[in-house]
């Protein structure tokens, strides 16, 4: 997708900002887009592949022949053939769903940002963990648990200092019996689940 420079139309038809991709409406039932001029962009249904540094994803292209005679063509596209093209990734549905969820729960997302963002920022940017070394949910969970344990220890040391932390750890009385009692049902289901996995692995 090529973004044209910001210019204002002599015919008073707005600016390039009025023809950004978010001004195109997607219609899931017909798998088409409607552009700001009311024309329908369709797809051939073919998937194309875009490769990035560490991953790749697929997308479909949407176009309309109406671009050829469109009075705002120069605002809408800088493509040499004058035809605007919209790309829709295989993840667009999930992204849109997340967008709606965000709009409906802005305060919650803000809170999440305040609490969690600096943790992931530290782990990814400062420590360089922008990907896991292991693969598979179980192993990745283990790797993440180790990283988070180190993060928590470092944070506790920063807040309390080593001496106070050691002091608190010496006095710490974990409430495991109470925890076990209140989570008996969940633990039982977890055990059954683990047994089922073990059983499956030994049969396989
Ligand atoms: S150039 Fe094409 S996509 Fe853009 S507004 Fe005109 S008809 Fe619609």
Q: How many domains does the chain have?
A: 2
Domain boundary among 90, 123, 147: 90
* The predicted structure's pLDDT at residue 172: 86
DSSP label at residue 59:
E
Residue 59 lies in a domain: yes
**Is 43 inside any structural domain?**
yes
Query: Ligand 1 centre from 67 Cα, in Å?
Result: 5
Residues of the domain holding 49? 16-90
Q: Rounded to the nearest whole angstrom, what is the distance from the C-alpha of residue 74 to the centroid of ligand 1?
A: 9
Residue 157 lies in a domain: no
Q: Which among 90, 118, 153 is the end of a domain?
A: 90
Q: Take atom 5 of ligand 1 and give the residue whose Cα is closest.
A: 37
From the list 1, 42, 45, 46, the residue with the least C-alpha distance to 21 is 1
Question: Does 156 reside within a domain?
Answer: no
Q: 0.85 cut: is pTM over it?
A: no
In a domain, 169, yes or no: yes
Q: Is the CB of 16 under 6 A from ligand 1?
A: no
pLDDT-based confidence at residue 177 (cuts at 50, 70, 90): confident
- Please report, for the chain, how many H helices and E strands are present, in that order: 7, 6
Residue 71 lies in a domain: yes
* pLDDT tens figures, 128-166: 998 899 999 999 999 999 999 999 999 999 999 999 999
Do 92 and 100 contact (CB within 8 A), yes or no? no
Q: Where does the pLDDT of residue 8 fall: very low under 50, low under 70, confident under 90, or very high at 90 and above?
A: very low
Of 67, 90, 113, the residue at which a domain comes to its end is 90
Question: Ligand 1: does its nearest atom lie under 6 Å from the Cβ of 19?
Answer: yes
Percent share of the chain, pLDDT over 90: 68
Determine the residue of 17, 39, 61, 83 to mutate for testing ligand 1's pocket, defined as the one with the most ligand atoms within 8 A of the Cβ atom: 39
Structural domain contains residue 7: no
């Amino acid at each position: 997708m090529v973004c044209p420079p910001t210019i204002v139309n002599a015919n008073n038809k707005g600016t390039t900002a009025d023809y950004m991709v978010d001004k195109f409406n997607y219609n899931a039932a017909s798998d088409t887009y409607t552009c700001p001029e009311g024309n329908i962009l369709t797809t051939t249904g073919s998937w194309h592949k875009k490769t990035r540094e560490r991953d790749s994803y697929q997308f479909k292209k949407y176009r309309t022949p109406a671009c050829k005679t469109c009075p705002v063509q120069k605002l809408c596209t800088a493509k040499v053939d004058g035809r605007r093209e919209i790309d829709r990734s295989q993840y667009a549905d999930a992204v849109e769903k997340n967008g709606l969820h965000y709009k409906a729960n802005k305060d919650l997302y803000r809170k999440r940002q305040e609490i969690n963002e600096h943790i992931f920022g530290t782990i990814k940017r400062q420590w360089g963990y922008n990907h896991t070394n292991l693969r598979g949910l179980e192993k990745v969970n283990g790797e993440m648990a180790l990283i988070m344990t180190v993060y928590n220890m470092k944070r506790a040391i920063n807040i309390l200092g080593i001496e106070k932390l050691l002091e608190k750890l010496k006095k710490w009385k974990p409430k495991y019996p109470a925890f076990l009692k209140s989570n008996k049902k969940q633990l039982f289901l977890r055990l059954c689940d683990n047994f089922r996995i073990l059983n499956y692995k030994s049969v396989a």
